[in-house]
Amino acid sequence: MIISKKNKILLVSMISVLCVFVLIFKVGVSEAKEIDFKEAIKLGLEKNYELNTIRNSIAELERNLEILEAGESFQVDLNITPIWIFSSNIENRDYTVKMNESSLTPSVEVNMTATSQLTDDISFSTEISWESDSLYQDFSDLTDEINANLTLNKRVYPDSWSENEKQAYSLKNSLQIKLEELKWEEMEKQIEFIGDYFNVLRLQEQLSIVEERRDLTQEELNKVNRKIELGEGGYQQESEALIALKEIENSLLNQQQALTRAKKEWYLSLNLSQDTVVVFEENIDFINDLYSRMNSLELNDENKSKLIKIALEENYKIKNSLLEKEELIKELKWTENEGKTKVNLSGGYQFPADWFVMLDFQINLLDGGVQRLKEEQKESNIRQKEVSISYLNEQTKLEAEYLLDQDEYNTFNWDIQQMSLEKEQDKIGIMEKQYNQGIISTSNWKNATLTLREKEIKVKQAKDEWFINRLELAHFIGYLQK
Q: How far apart are CA 278 and CA 276, in angstroms?
A: 7
Question: pLDDT-derived band of residue 143, with 50, 70 and 90 as boundaries?
Answer: low
Residue 288 reports pLDDT greater than 60 = yes
Residue 166 reports pLDDT greater than 80 = yes
Amino acid at 410: N
Residue 102 reports pLDDT greater than 90 = no
Question: pLDDT-derived band of residue 293, with 50, 70 and 90 as boundaries?
Answer: very high
Q: How far apart are CA 132 and CA 137, in angstroms?
A: 9
Q: How far apart are CA 164 and CA 115, in angstroms?
A: 14
For the segment 365-375, the average pLDDT, to the nearest whole number, is: 87
pLDDT score at 69: 83
Identify the structural domains of the chain with CATH numbers, from first to last: 76-160 (no CATH), 299-342+365-482 (1.20.1600.10)
Collapsed DSSP state (helix, strand, coil) of residue 305: helix
For the segment 427-444, the average pLDDT, to the nearest whole number, is: 92
Question: pLDDT-derived band of residue 132, with 50, 70 and 90 as boundaries?
Answer: low
Q: How far apart are CA 295 and CA 18, in angstroms?
A: 57
Highest mean pLDDT range out of 39-53, 99-113, 223-237? 39-53
Residue 369's region, left for phi above 0, alpha for psi from -120 to 50, else beta, is left
Residue 221 reports pLDDT greater than 50 = yes
Residue 99 reports pLDDT greater than 50 = no
Residue 28 reports pLDDT greater than 70 = no
DSSP letters for 71-97:
HTS-EEEEEEEEE------GGGGGTSE
The percent of residues above 90 in pLDDT, for the chain, comes to 51
pLDDT score at 89: 53
Collapsed DSSP state (helix, strand, coil) of residue 190: helix
Residue 363 reports pLDDT greater than 80 = yes
Using alpha carbons, list the distances in angstroms from residue 131 to 35, 103, 107, 114, 138. Answer: 71, 20, 7, 18, 14
Residue 136's region, left for phi above 0, alpha for psi from -120 to 50, else beta, is beta
For the segment 358-369, the average pLDDT, to the nearest whole number, is: 84
Question: Do residues 270 and 47 make contact, with C-beta atoms less than 8 angstroms apart?
Answer: yes
For the segment 61-72, the average pLDDT, to the nearest whole number, is: 88
The percent of residues above 70 in pLDDT, for the chain, comes to 84
Average pLDDT value for the chain: 85
Residue 141 reports pLDDT greater than 50 = yes
Residue 273 reports pLDDT greater than 80 = yes
pLDDT score at 188: 96
- Tell me: the pLDDT tens digits for 203-214? 999 999 999 999
- Tell me: the pLDDT tens digits for 380-433? 999 999 999 999 999 999 999 999 999 999 999 999 999 999 999 999 999 999
Interhelix angle 370-436/316-338, rounded to 10 degrees, is 180
Q: CB-based contacts of 448: which residues, under 8 Å, 6+ apart?
A: 427, 428, 431
Residue 1 reports pLDDT greater than 90 = no
Question: Do residues 161 and 334 make contact, with C-beta atoms less than 8 angstroms apart?
Answer: yes
Question: Do residues 18 and 250 make contact, with C-beta atoms less than 8 angstroms apart?
Answer: no
pLDDT score at 100: 45
Q: How far apart are CA 432 and CA 446, in angstroms?
A: 10
Question: pLDDT-derived band of residue 29, with 50, 70 and 90 as boundaries?
Answer: very low
pLDDT score at 359: 84
